[in-house]
Amino acid sequence: MTTPNELRLLPWSGPEGKPCYLSTDDQGGYISRLADNIETIQLAAAVELLEDASESLDSEEAGRDTLRCLAHDLREALSDVLRVAVSRGHLLATTEPHSI
């Protein structure tokens, strides 16, 4: 079993928005694969949203409501991407040898 500092931050929140963690030695297990797939979906959605944001911001016809919705969606996507970055950064720190 993994040690407490090797817990994987999962790409979803638990009750009350609290982070969820996975403790396992099996990186190919069901929950690990599910988390990998969800992270892939979240990152792809962020890329698509970024493209939409570029178009909306370049358009002089984008209204206030459109831009507010865009800002909300960007905030959600950024939150997802940051969670993935933290999780993957932690995984790299615990699985790759450190070089000096």
Nearest Cα to Cα of residue 23 among 78, 90, 98: 90
Residues 6+ apart with CB under 8 A from 70: 52, 53, 56, 57, 62
- 3-state SS class at 23: coil
pTM of the model: 0.73
Nearest Cα to Cα of residue 84 among 53, 52, 47: 47
What distance in Å separates the CA atoms of residue 73 and residue 6, rounded to the nearest whole number? 31
Structure confidence by residue, pLDDT tens digits, 20-64? 999 887 778 999 999 999 999 999 999 999 999 998 888 888 889
Is the pLDDT at 100 greater than 50? The verdict is no
